Chain A
Amino acid sequence: DQQVKQNSPSLSVQEGRISILNCDYTNSMFDYFLWYKKYPAEGPTFLISISSIKDKNEDGRFTVFLNKSAKHLSLHIVPSQPGDSAVYFCAASAFTGGTSYGKLTFGQGTILTVHP
């Protein structure tokens, strides 16, 4: 049972345009959401996160939007750059006291390609 889903395996965007990556979740206990970026032959690196008490978080070119009622979040990259080409993973966690975000559930990932 995939509790976090990224339904688009890949996305291709022109340099300078907006990239929108989507993620859906089913577990209503999730209250903290993260996006990780992964280049080939490297481990995932943290990009941006959002708590369920917010509906938007912005960091430079990256903005994450959370729609709790739809159980949906999205990552917007504006403007997209060729260096943004990577696999993007959405992840979710639930504050359960003991684990305190130690347990992450990841989506399948979306391959973003930004063309010059």
Chain B
Amino acid sequence: EAQVTQNPRYLITVTGKKLTVTCSQNMNHEYMSWYRQDPGLGLRQIYYSMNVEVTDKGDVPEGYKVSRKEKRNFPLILESPSPNQTSLYFCASSNPMETQYFGPGTRLLVL
């Protein structure tokens, strides 16, 4: 089954404790992205990657890191999480000129 998977689905952590949210797709897509969804703001793109080892900032990249060492994986790293990074995070993938497929979401709470 074609899908985008994210882990964990739910995470509670404390300020400053490094965390990684994994994202994997099995559709051999070139593009992968991370978004966060906040009330009243919709989905905002954090980072995107056009291919292996090619990443670029989205609209709200501050406080986040990404890497794309393999085509199928695109982890989101929060080196020192802060409460304002409490949000619902979505990973997405697609091929050029095609629509994006989204994962199920990761709900993060930073205390």
Is A89 an interface residue, CB under 8 A from the partner?
yes
A106 near B43 (CB under 8 angstroms)? yes
Question: Which chain B residues in 29-66 approach chain A with CB under 8 Å?
Answer: 31, 33, 35, 40-45, 48, 50, 56, 58-59
Min CB–CB distance B38 → chain A (angstroms): 9
Q: Which residue in A46, A102, A104, A106 is a CB contact (below 8 Å) of B96?
A: A102
Shortest distance between the CB of B71 and any CB in chain A (Å): 14
Number of residue pairs A-B, CB distance < 8 angstroms: 62
Interchain CB contact under 8 A, A46 and B50: no
Interface of B is mostly: strand
Considering only CB atoms and an 8 Å cut-off, how many residues of chain B contact the other chain? 28
The answer to whether the Cβ of A62 comes within 8 Å of any Cβ in the partner chain is: no
CB pair B42 A104 closer than 8 Å: no
**Chain B residues with a Cβ under 8 A of chain A:** 4, 31, 33, 35, 40-45, 48, 50, 56, 58-59, 90, 92, 94, 96-105
